[in-house]
Amino acid sequence: MSEYYCGYNPPPPNFKTFFPEKYKDRLQRLPNFGKLRSSWEIHRRPTVVVLHVFADDIGALEKWIDMVYRLAAPGLLGGEMDFFVDDVWQSFIFNEDDFSFSRSDEGCTVDSFPLIYAANSTGKVFFFGDFTGPKLPDLESLRDFCDQVIKGIAEEPTARDPTVENLSLDSWNELMYACDNDIALCFYNSLQNGAEVNRSLMANLDWLADKLKQESVLLYKMDINGASIPKKFLVESPPAFFFLKGNQKHNPLRCKYKLDMWTMLRFIAENSSEELCYYNRRGNRRLHADLLIHIRDYFNLSRNKTRY
């Protein structure tokens, strides 16, 4: 179990000893549970967290620690930020509820880039990368990133407005075939299914739209009450959920799972033309995205600090 999920004992081999002594004057390892949050609240200093599978091969990965160490020099950013470096196993402190971070995630191997997160003085957290994952750091780009966090001018990647667009027969061709994006489409009947069923369905679709706002998949819904839909969509009884790949819109795929928010997300993740940014083919959130969500929650000043 410990090989896969962060925080379960025993930790990976070399976890306690991988961190070279020569870096300890500028860099810290992550403390347990709420100690980072409570110490940060005292001074509100911008804070950088650098994670990797360091315990697996410190020889291959020490270059990342060395880069951060140089950045943390008193003449650079050491006087303005706190720097934490640790094996990703220790990231369990950011999700003490269920220890859900998978250390064996496809996005975190010895060959991958480090996962770098930074919290500013107000607790807003930024990721050194984009929706698809971490980017390759060098001293200059990482310094620019940290400078922006310190000055309060760092920006997040722009996501789409998380709305579920209504589709009608009048706009069918324009919306369905005007672009090469993958499309997820839900047919429902506003009169046939009953108010409670449709209310739950709309809530699930809104949730799904929010989860897909960083993805290129477009999400539509269509009320088929009194409408005649194309014959290639076999809707025996609504609601029905379909997926159309960008270059295969003539061949819609129907979701055979019982429809709820998680099965619809999994269905999209399984069938998307390219793997989603935040979710793997099983519909599980990728490590870089999962950590970002929980680290943001960890530093969120509206959270009850007594938890930490």
Name every residue whose Cβ is closer than 8 Å to that of residue 178 and which is 6 or more positions away in sequence.
Answer: none
Coil, strand or helix at 219? strand
165-271 maps to which CATH number? Answer: 3.40.30.10
User: Is residue 304 over pLDDT 70?
Assistant: no
Q: What is the pLDDT of residues 69-119, one digit of tens each?
A: 999 999 999 999 999 999 999 999 998 777 678 787 666 889 999 999 999
Kindly report, as residue ranges, where domains of CATH 3.40.30.10 are found in the chain. 21-156+286-307, 165-271
d(C-alpha 86, C-alpha 16), whole Å: 10
21-156+286-307 has CATH 3.30.43.10 classification? no
- The reported pLDDT for the residue numbered 102 is 79
Q: What is the pLDDT of residues 178-191, one digit of tens each?
A: 788 999 999 999 88
Closest to 208 in 3D by CA, of 279, 103, 157 = 279
- For residue 308, name the pLDDT band (cuts at 50, 70, 90): very low
User: Is residue 307 over pLDDT 90?
Assistant: no
Q: Identify whether the C-beta of residue 1 lies closer than 8 Å to the C-beta of residue 8.
A: yes
- The reported pLDDT for the residue numbered 99 is 67
- The reported pLDDT for the residue numbered 235 is 86
d(C-alpha 184, C-alpha 261), whole Å: 13
Mean pLDDT of the chain: 91
- pTM for the predicted model, two decimal places: 0.91
Q: Scanning the structure block, which residue is given the tokens 């303005």?
A: 80
61-96 as b/e: b if 16+ CB within 10 A? bbebbebbbebbeeebbbeebbbbbbbbbbbbbbbe
Tokens of 200: 């739950």
Name the E strands within 71-217: 82-87, 115-119, 125-127, 129-130, 133-134, 165-166, 183-188
Question: Mean pLDDT over residues 141-159, rounded?
Answer: 97
Q: What is the pLDDT of residues 191-226, one digit of tens each?
A: 877 788 889 999 999 999 999 999 999 999 999 888
Q: Scanning the structure block, which residue is given the tokens 């369990």?
A: 92
User: Is residue 1 over pLDDT 50?
Assistant: no
User: Is residue 234 over pLDDT 70?
Assistant: yes
